[in-house]
Amino acid sequence: MVAAADLAHRRTWEISTAEAGADHDARDEAARQAVEAFVTRAAPLVR
C-alpha cells in the first residue's frame, strides 16, 4: 500500500515538474522574443 502511494506521489511530482518546465520554457521564449524585438527596433538608432 505504501509503495502504491509513493508511486502516485512520484507521478504527481513528475507531472508538476514537467508543467513547471514548460512554463519556464515559455517565459524564456517570451523574453527572447522581447529582446529580439528591442534589438530590431534599436538597430537603426545605432547606425
How confident is the model over 1-47, as pLDDT tens digits?
678 888 788 888 888 888 888 888 888 999 999 999 998 988 887 76
The shares of helix, strand and coil residues in the chain, as percent rounded to the nearest 5, are 95, 0, 5
- The pLDDT score that the predictor gives to residue 45 is 79
- The pLDDT score that the predictor gives to residue 33 is 94
CA angle 23, 26, 30 (to 5 degrees): 140
pTM of the model: 0.55
User: CA 24, CA 19: separation in Å to the nearest integer?
Assistant: 9
Phi-psi map region of 3: left, alpha, beta (phi>0 left; psi -120 to 50 alpha): alpha
